[in-house]
A and B are shown apart, each in its own frame.
Chain A
Amino acid sequence: MRLYWELARCGYRRTAIYRTAAISGAITNTFFGFLRAYMFIALYEARGEVGGYTLADTLAFTFITQGMAALIGLWGWWPIAESVQDGSVASDLSRPYDYQFAWMAQDYGRALYQFVARSAPPFVVGMVAFGITLPGDPLIWLALVPTVILSVGVSYGWRFCLNLSTFWWTDHRGTAGIAMMIGMLFSGFLVPIAMWPDGLREIGYLSPFAAMVAIPIDVFLGKLSGTDVLAALALQAFWLVALLALGRLVLSAALHKLVVQGG
């Protein structure tokens, strides 16, 4: 356990080195937040509420998603793929730890730094600029902690599987493009799932991608009450376990393929 704790600290520190990258990333995220906010303000001139989302909800949604993108690696996270390409995967695999959990620990360290450097600043700027209010109900704050932790975990489970695909296709750029599209579309990142047409909406909420973005946001906005919150957390936990299990299957298949040359 202590080992994984150290790995998490490593992941945190490794990300924290790139401070200028984090600052410019936060600026970019904030700018896109403004663009999307103005778009929604203009759209809402014609309607008061869509799918239960008021303009205030949608503005909060906009800046939370901008903050969460880096947290869940929505635009790409390929360190494992790169270790497959440069061969260092071989030594990583022979270390005395669980390969999947080791990367997971590092990823949580990375996510913590991203939360401080890239999630909070765009949200705070958006909060000041557009008067977004924080939830007042302490129960919501209580639920936010596990839901965000689970959303990072679910996204890690998905990214782990994606990264292992480099064992079969050495170039990950094609996969990266398609994965990003799937993530942005189905997580409700660009358009809240609540605004999707009837029928699609119900299915949309069940996907693992909703567990990464849509569920934490609906918890924040107080759209889920009482037992619904617990059900949503259970769904996230289900996807976490399912994706981690899938990752283990993919890993064992990949290991059958791996041939280490030289030493």
Chain B
Amino acid sequence: MRANLDLYLALVRAQVNAQLQYRTSFLLMAASQFVVTFTDFLMVLLLFTQFPSIAGWTLPEVAFLYGLGGIAFGVSDLVCGGFDGLSKMIRLGTFDRVLTRPVGTFAQVLASDVQIRRLGRIAQGVTVFALAVSWLDVTWSLDKLAVLALSLAGGAVIFTSIWVIGAAITFWTVQTSEVTNVFTYGGEALVSYPMPIYAEGIRWFFTYVVPLIFVSYLPALYILERPDPLGLPPFLQLCSPVVAVLFLLVARLCWAFGVRHYQGTGS
């Protein structure tokens, strides 16, 4: 485990150094990621100039959800680029090389593509979250800070697990399926708004199958002390990290199953 972690960090460091060689290009891309994702939030601002609230949630509260989801997704996007690129590894046959090395496939793919320009996306989430907190009157306490930290980590793990499952499917389909985008980019959009606005089937799916409800909605209820019109048991609001770990285990199983079924493309 320790050796794996050291190796992972060494690989990531090498990539970061390589990317920093082209400093202007890096800065431009990080800035463009920030601006691009921030535009998305500008649209939310624009909407709220016309509409007072959504399902009883005001702009600052929606920004709170948006920020939580944005940070969690941004972290997973930074870490998981390798899984997104698995399709290419399979097509080019470089995944064969991964299999011959004496380190786990999971750690190797995880470390294979860490793009630090994606920090721009995280910066956007942090900015929106900071705005939300400054607009809201949250009475912070130790338990709320703990819920915040753990659900941010949990959210990142949940999104990461989705990337991993999506990549595991690539072992059969070879091409990355755009349907994975429904759960990654679509998931990020989904968690930016309060859950009650969605139809029951969608809510059920994103509670019990892909547990995105734990990324922002449930922790936000706890921190903002809002009642839950959905009537879910309140202890679930504290469960993000537990659910995240369980979901990651499922993702690891899918991954192991996929790797076992891997056949080269013959190129």
Q: A54 at interface (Cβ–Cβ under 8 A)? A: no
User: Complex: how many Å from CA A181 to CA B33?
Assistant: 10
Known contacts A28-B186, A50-B50; A39 and B193 CB within 8 A of each other: yes
Q: List CB contacts (< 8 Å) of B43-60 with chain A.
A: 43, 46-47, 49-55
Chain B window 126-147, contacts with chain A (Cβ cutoff 8 Å), 1 for yes, 0 for no: 0000000000000000000000
Check A28 against B179 for contact (C-beta < 8 Å): yes
Q: Considering only CB atoms, which chain A residue lies closest to B186 in the complex?
A: A31
Check A191 against B51 for contact (C-beta < 8 Å): no
Q: A41 at interface (Cβ–Cβ under 8 A)? A: yes
User: Complex: how many Å from CA A174 to CA B29?
Assistant: 5
Q: Chain A residues with Cβ under 8 A from B194's Cβ?
A: 42
Q: Chain A residues with Cβ under 8 A from B189's Cβ?
A: 32, 35
Q: B236 at interface (Cβ–Cβ under 8 A)? A: no
Q: Chain A residues with Cβ under 8 A from B43's Cβ?
A: 185, 190-191
Check A177 against B32 for contact (C-beta < 8 Å): yes
Among B73-81, B104-112, B195-203, B251-259, the stretch in contact with A: B195-203
Majority SS at the chain A contact face = helix
Q: Considering only CB atoms, which chain A residue lies closest to B193 in the complex?
A: A39
Which interface class (under 10, 10 to 19, 20 to 34, 35 or more) fits A?
35 or more
Q: Which residue of A41, A47, A51 contacts B197 across the interface (Cβ within 8 Å)?
A: A41
User: Complex: how many Å from CA A249 to CA B157?
Assistant: 49
Q: Considering only CB atoms, which chain A residue lies closest to B57 in the complex?
A: A42
Check B181 against A28 for contact (C-beta < 8 Å): yes
Q: Which residue of A42, A171, A173, A195 contacts B54 across the interface (Cβ within 8 Å)?
A: A42
Q: Which residue of A25, A173, A185 contacts B178 across the interface (Cβ within 8 Å)?
A: A25
> In the assembled complex, how far is the CB of residue A52 from the closest CB belonging to chain B, in whole angstroms?
12
* Best-buried of B46, B47, B178 by chain A (most CB within 10 Å): B178
Known contacts A38-B199, A46-B51; A28 and B182 CB within 8 A of each other: yes
> In the assembled complex, how far is the CB of residue A128 from the closest CB belonging to chain B, in whole angstroms?
14
Q: A113 at interface (Cβ–Cβ under 8 A)? A: no
Check A24 against B47 for contact (C-beta < 8 Å): no
Among B4-12, B34-42, B89-97, the stretch in contact with A: B34-42
Check A185 against B42 for contact (C-beta < 8 Å): yes
User: Complex: how many Å from CA A156 to CA B29?
Assistant: 24
Check A191 against B181 for contact (C-beta < 8 Å): no
Known contacts A177-B32, A191-B47; A27 and B54 CB within 8 A of each other: no
| Nearest 5 interchain pairs by C-beta | A42-B197, A24-B178, A177-B32, A43-B51, A190-B43
A binding-site residues for B, Cβ under 8 Å? 20-21, 24-25, 27-28, 31-32, 34-35, 38-39, 41-47, 50-51, 171, 173-174, 177-178, 180-181, 184-185, 190-191, 195-197
